[in-house]
Amino acid sequence: MTTQSETDVTCSLARRLARIPHLELREAEPLSRHTSFGIGGPADLLVIPQRPEALREVIREATNAGIQALYLGNGTNLIVRDGGIRGLVIRTSGGLSDIAVEGTAATVECGVSLARLCFLCGERGLAGLEFAAGIPGTMGGALVMNAGANGGEIGDLIEWVEVVTPDGSCKRITRRNLDFGYRSSALRDLGLSILRARLRLRPDDPVEIHRKLCDTMALRCAKQPVSRFSAGSIFKRPDGDYAGRLLDEAGAKGMRVGRAAVSTKHANFMVNLGGATASDVIGLIEAARELVYAEFGVLLEPEVCIVGED
């Protein structure tokens, strides 16, 4: 429950944020509008910075107010509980979307979608991102979780990442200090806002790159429920196996809790059938984990992040 003093702090912050140029501010914004699952309660404050200096000023003001922000890209790989988020949500998607290509390097702002980046680099004859075609997130989210597929990971391409510190200044972190691992990076623990990253790619024939991107997209569409509201893969891959296989063999496909269901197309995806709540999805996650544990003795670890209040 929010106290009166917390409400006063939030209202005071909203007044200061409203004065920042190139910043869109929304109050009591339903996060169901900003997540790929189409679920989530309201954020007290949601801002969409259009320029880097706006992001830096937002973070400075939030720090001064003693409020820890939640960073949001396309809202993939994320479940927001039904009570929503108290305080501030910073959405980078829709604003911070600049891509600068120099030779075989691309400097990419955090709000750029991976889909747009893959095809733009392909047009420029820059290869290396073909594995990421169809991953629905943004550069910022991809860096935090070291997004990957088809044998590739975003961390393999990174030279450095620039983050915004609590006082609004910028700091550059080189790849060797980012500790990229399977669906993890040091960025998650740092809790800092990502501003941009520099990727090192390699030259190749644009026609060949385009073919590989299209093949990757076609494979994803054939195997995953891309036409449904979902949050991508629900569980991480367990050692020596695949979560989807374990869930399938345990009989999870088609399981339902409320209006949330395990996809019949891919058992490691859960979908919103329309009107699902976060409680439905979280209940289904727990039911699926228990099913696999009872059958195989393997406790699956969620890949999705669950945030917010009940």
Q: What CA–CA distance (Å, rounded) separates 122 from 146?
A: 21
The CATH number that domain 4-91 falls under is 3.30.43.10
Nearest Cα residue to 116 out of 100, 131, 138, 84? 138
Mean pLDDT of the chain: 95
Residue 2's pLDDT is 66
Annotated catalytic residue, options 29, 57, 162, 303: 303
Instruction: Judge: domain 225-305, CATH 1.10.3720.10.
Output: no
Q: Residues 26-36: what's their mean pLDDT?
A: 97
Running DSSP on this structure, what letter comes out for residue 50? S
What are the extents of the domains in the chain? Answer: 4-91, 99-208, 225-305
Q: What is the pLDDT of residue 73?
A: 92
Please report which confidence band the pLDDT of residue 7 belongs to, taking 50, 70 and 90 as the band edges: confident
pLDDT at 1: 58
What region, left, alpha or beta, does residue 13 occupy, with left being phi > 0 and alpha being psi -120 to 50 degrees? alpha
CB neighbour list of residue 19: distance below 8 Å, 6 or more residues apart: none
pLDDT in tens, 215-234: 999 988 899 998 899 998 99
Q: For domain 99-208, which CATH number applies: 3.30.465.10, 3.40.1180.10, 3.40.50.12280, 3.40.50.970?
A: 3.30.465.10
Measure the CA–CA gap between 75 and 136, rounded to whole angstroms.
Answer: 9
Task: Respond yes or no: is residue 183 known to be catalytic.
Answer: yes
Q: Averaged over 57-67, what is the pLDDT?
A: 96
pLDDT tens readout for residues 186-213 = 998 888 899 999 999 999 999 999 999 9
Residue burial 222-250, b: 16+ Cβ < 10 Å; e: rest: eebbeebbbbbbbbbbbeeeebbebbbeb
Active site residue 303: yes
d(CA 262, CA 253): 5
Q: Which pLDDT score is estimated for 294?
A: 98
Q: Which entry of 81, 91, 183, 237 is annotated as an active-site residue? A: 183
Tell me the average pLDDT across 158-166: 97
Among residues 97, 185, 193, 233, which one is catalytic? 233
Residue 169 has pLDDT above 80, yes or no: yes
Residue 5 has pLDDT above 80, yes or no: no
pTM over 0.85: yes
